[in-house]
Each structure stands twice: as structure tokens, then as C-alpha cells.
């Protein structure tokens, strides 16, 4: 079985190399914008990939600063742009737009893996060939297939240079040959995601984390954001950003990048532990984009509790539920497990012990009390929701998953569940 993965490593650039890569990054962004302008101005009957390719070749010959971008990287910009339109036409994404300089992450593609010439130098450093830049050092934190002796058979198919608040990184695209995973023999579990308790499992346990930033870091970030708003008041529309405002933006981006690294670290460790323990995991099929929409409304019909909803939106975005599900999905597949997405309606209102649904079942955000006189189950609301997700998983999972149809309710609901009250879906 072929397994495709990505590995990100930080680059150690000299000042000259940094200057060359920055030029390539700006040229790649400008190439995207020129292709976008040409595409939108060209009549639909005359749009074609071959014409765009011809115009790219002509532009690289006539414009010196566009020629700083390697030819293969320029071709990859065109392919990425066309793929963006295909994703739009198939309903998976919005239409591609103009890429602004300060709101777009710079990226440069190296599509051919054979051009990289990867070599390990020391225990901590390796080197890679970047077209029109030369040999560049990068942090060696993981063995690469086809490069390290004793690693899985495979190869590096390509790479991409990306820039974030910490500087330039290289992302290797790897392809390894692994044996087909054997079916996971672990039990099943349902997971309910939240803000107060990030992950609640149907076995009664939780997966919690501390704040992504320490109190001092959070206070520093708050002060920097207030400073930025004050500095922006003195900037006229269209005026160049001052050095002080640019420095403030860099500091804010650094703190946010630090929080994101800690988030990723916790998500990887947590999802790896869940994938190692459980064979089938059920989660809600949430539409997170709709959940984080603003409540401000319109001028004619203004919204209510706008600031409170904005705070909730920030909390939901900070938990990155979608990324947690993505990590779980591929890690379970690597171990022979399965991820099942179940409908979200009524998972928090239904009593998992008797199936009774009513608006008053939740006494508070954290406590669930069943109003059914013959049941009266009470406990953590998130645990109740995860048990409902687990029950729905057993009814929705594919038939070929071993053991899904034979799980008993008492295994998940705990001793409080009574077999006299069947779960209603």
C-alpha cells in the first residue's frame, strides 16, 4: 500500500539565500495574480490551459523579476490555479481570488523530487537543493524514505517552500510502501467535541489541555493587539505601513504561531493515543463554518448578543475541531481502524440511557438530567452526548467493521444504563 504524507522542516538560510527565496515568493504571488487577471479578462470561449502556459513563458522572458521564479515553480502556480477552479466548480471551495501581499502565505513549489538532492549532514541538520538558490540546510527531525538507511521503502516525490511567522520552512511530500494494516482489535468509542471540555469520550474520560498561551503571553498579546489598533488609526488608506506597525504585526503573528504549534502538538499526541486504543471512533458531522458565522445581522435586523457570539466563535476556532477529526481519520486508517461521522441533531438533547428527548434535559452547560420519570439519569452533559454518538455509530458503521453490530450498550453507557430502556435513534 502506498502511503502519502508530508513532513515539515525549518530552513537554515543565509542572508543571500533568504533574499533569493523572498524574491521567488513574491514572484510566485505576482504570477498567481497575473494569471487570475488574465483568466477573468479573457472571454470564456478563449480560456485554455495551453494559452495560459504560453503567456507564462512569454512573461518570464520579458519581465526580469518574474524570471527569478524557476520555470517548474511557475508551471505549478498555473496548475494550482486551475485546480482551485476545479474545486470551485465541484462545490468544494470558493472561487480563487487576488492574493494580497500581507494577507497571503508565501509558497514556492519544487514539483520534482529528483531535483532535491537530499543529504544528511549531521544529527540535527540536512541539506537540500533549491532551484536558483543552491544547497540549503534544514532541520533534520525525521527520517525520509529513500534517503535514510533502514527507513520504509519509498521516495520523496516533491517539496514546497512555505513562509510563516517563524520564517521559511520546507514541506517534503513523501510516498512510502507499507503493508496493509490488520483490523484494529480495540473497542469502539464516541467522541463529543466542545469548548469547556475539548474531547469527551463515551467511556467517561476526557482529553483536556491547558490554555495555549500562558497568562503573561495572553496579556502581552492583548496589549499588542490594542497597540496595533491605535497605530492603525494614524494610517491613511493606501498609505505605506509604518515600521512600528509592521513590527507590532510581526510580534502578534509570533504569539499566534506559538499558540498554533502548541495546539498541533496536543492534537497529534491526543489523536495518536486515541487511535492506538480504539478501533472504531464515532464523531459528529459538524458544519463548523456555519457554527462560527457572525451574529451581527444587518442594519435593518441587527443581531443579538453579538459580542458573546464573537467570543464563542473565537473559542471554537481555537479548538480546531476539523483538524482533530482529520488527524484521527488518517491515524485510524494507518492502524486498521475506522472513523464514522454521525448526524449531529439531538445528540446533546437525547438521554443515552432511555432515548428520551426534550429541551429541558440539560440543566446547565455541563450537567444533563433526564426528565423521563422512569429513567432520571444524570451526569456530565458531554459524556451523555458522546454516548449518543457512540450508539449512532453502531447503527451507521459499515457492516464489514468487525464487532460494530455486536457491541453492548452497557459497555459504553456504564452501570447507570438500564437494559429495560432501549436507546431510541
| Cα separation, 350 vs 270, whole angstroms | 27
Distance CA 424, CA 409 (A): 12
Which parts of the chain sit beneath pLDDT 50? 400, 402-425
CA distance 422 to 270: 32
Query: Do 199 and 160 have their domain in common?
Result: no
Asked if 262 and 320 count as a contact pair (C-beta separation under 8 A), the reply is no
| pLDDT for 399 | 54
Domain assignment present for 259: no
Looking at the structure, do residues 111 and 197 belong to the same domain, yes or no?
no
DSSP 40-86: HHS-GGG--HHHHHHHHHHHHHH-TTTTTS-HHHHHHHHHHHHHHHH
Catalytic residue from among 175, 203, 284, 319: 284
Has 363 been annotated as catalytic? no
Using CA atoms, how far residue 70 sits from 27, 105, 339, in Å, is 10, 19, 41
Domain count, the chain: 2
- pLDDT of 396 reads 67
Is residue 130 domain-shared with residue 203, that is, in the same domain?
Answer: no
pTM: 0.79
Q: What whole-number distance in Å separates Cα of residue 144 and Cα of residue 148? A: 6
Domain contains 244: no
What is the C-alpha separation between 121 and 137, in angstroms, rounded? 9
Q: Are residues 119 and 186 in the same domain?
A: no
- Tens digits of residue pLDDT in 195-247: 888 888 888 888 888 889 999 999 999 999 999 999 988 888 878 888 899 89
> Count of residues for the chain?
425
* Residues 75 and 165 placed together within one structural domain of the fold: yes
Q: What is the DSSP string of 286-338?
A: --HHHHT----B-SSSB-SSHHHHHHHHHHHHHHTHHHHHHHHHHHHHHTT-E
Among this protein's residues, is 37 annotated catalytic? no
Of 109, 175, 329, 382, which one is the catalytic site residue? Answer: 382
Q: Indicate whether 114 and 196 sit together in one domain.
A: no
101 and 175 housed in the same domain: yes
Q: How far apart are CA 170 and CA 188, in angstroms?
A: 37
Query: How high is the pLDDT of residue 385?
Result: 83
The answer to whether residues 327 and 420 belong to one domain is: yes
pLDDT at 114: 84
List, in order, residues 6 or more apart from 263 with CB less than 8 Å away. Answer: 212, 318, 320
Q: Please check whether residues 80 and 191 belong to one and the same domain.
A: no
- Among 175, 192, 319, 390, the one annotated catalytic: 192
Residues β-bridged to residue 4:
175
Residues 385 and 345 occupy one common structural domain: yes
Give strand pairing partners of 171.
8, 160
Of 413, 407, 408, 331, the closest CA to residue 379 belongs to 413
Query: Do 158 and 191 sit in the same domain of this protein?
Result: no
Distance (Å, whole) CA 159 – CA 174: 9
Residues 205 and 120 in one domain: no
CA angle 249, 255, 257 (to 5 degrees): 95
The yes-or-no answer on residue 180 being catalytic is no
Which domain does 375 fall in, by range?
182-210+273-425
Task: Determine, yes or no, domain membership for 243.
Answer: no
Grid cell, residue 75, equals 508551471
Strand, helix or coil for residue 29: helix
Amino acid at each position: 500500500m502506498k502511503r502519502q504524507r508530508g513532513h515539515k522542516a525549518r530552513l537554515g538560510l543565509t542572508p543571500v539565500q533568504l533574499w533569493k527565496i523572498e524574491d521567488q515568493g513574491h514572484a510566485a504571488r505576482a504570477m498567481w495574480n497575473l494569471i487570475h487577471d488574465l483568466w477573468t479578462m479573457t472571454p470564456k470561449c478563449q480560456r485554455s490551459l495551453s494559452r495560459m502556459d504560453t503567456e507564462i513563458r512569454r512573461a518570464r522572458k520579458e519581465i526580469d523579476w518574474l524570471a527569478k521564479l524557476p520555470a517548474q515553480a511557475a508551471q505549478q502556480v498555473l496548475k494550482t490555479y486551475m485546480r482551485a477552479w476545479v474545486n470551485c466548480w465541484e462545490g468544494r471551495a470558493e472561487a480563487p481570488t487576488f492574493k494580497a501581499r500581507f494577507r497571503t502565505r508565501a509558497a514556492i513549489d519544487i514539483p520534482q523530487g529528483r531535483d532535491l538532492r537530499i543529504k544528511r549532514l549531521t544529527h540535527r541538520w540536512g541539506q537540500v537543493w533549491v532551484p536558483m538558490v543552491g544547497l540549503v540546510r534544514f532541520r533534520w527531525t525525521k527520517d525520509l524514505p529513500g534517503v535514510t538507511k533502514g527507513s520504509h521503502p519509498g521516495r520523496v516525490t516533491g517539496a514546497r517552500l512555505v513562509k510563516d511567522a517563524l520564517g521559511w520552512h520546507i514541506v517534503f511530500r513523501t510516498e512510502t510502501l507499507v503493508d496493509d494494516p490488520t483490523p484494529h482489535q480495540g473497542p469502539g468509542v464516541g467522541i463529543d467535541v466542545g469548548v469547556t471540555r475539548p474531547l469527551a469520550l463515551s467511556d467517561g474520560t476526557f482529553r483536556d489541555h491547558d490554555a495555549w498561551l500562558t497568562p503573561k503571553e495572553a496579556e502581552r498579546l492583548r496589549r499588542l493587539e490594542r497597540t496595533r489598533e491605535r497605530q492603525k488609526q494614524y494610517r491613511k488608506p493606501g498609505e505605506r505601513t509604518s515600521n512600528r506597525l509592521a513590527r507590532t504585526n510581526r510580534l502578534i503573528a509570533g504569539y499566534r504561531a506559538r499558540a498554533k504549534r502548541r495546539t498541533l502538538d496536543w492534537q497529534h499526541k491526543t489523536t495518536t493515543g486515541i487511535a492506538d486504543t480504539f478501533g472504531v471512533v464515532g464523531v459528529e458531522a459538524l458544519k463548523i463554518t456555519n457554527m462560527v458565522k457572525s451574529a451581527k445581522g444587518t442594519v435593518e435586523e441587527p443581531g443579538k448578543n453579538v459580542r458573546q457570539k464573537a467570543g464563542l466563535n473565537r473559542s471554537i476556532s481555537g479548538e480546531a475541531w476539523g483538524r482533530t477529526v482529520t488527524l484521527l481519520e488518517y491515524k485510524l486508517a494507518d492502524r486498521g481502524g475506522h472513523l464514522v461521522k454521525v448526524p449531529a441533531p439531538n445528540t446533546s438533547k437525547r438521554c443515552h440511557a432511555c432515548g428520551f428527548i426534550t429541551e429541558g434535559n440539560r440543566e446547565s452547560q455541563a450537567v444533563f438530567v433526564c426528565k423521563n420519570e422512569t429513567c432520571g439519569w444524570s451526569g456530565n452533559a458531554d459524556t451523555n452526548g458522546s454516548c449518543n454518538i457512540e450508539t449512532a455509530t453502531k447503527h451507521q458503521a459499515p457492516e464489514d467493521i468487525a464487532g460494530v453490530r455486536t457491541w453492548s450498550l452497557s459497555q459504553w453507557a456504564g452501570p447507570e444504563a438500564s437494559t429495560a430502556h432501549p436507546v431510541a435513534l
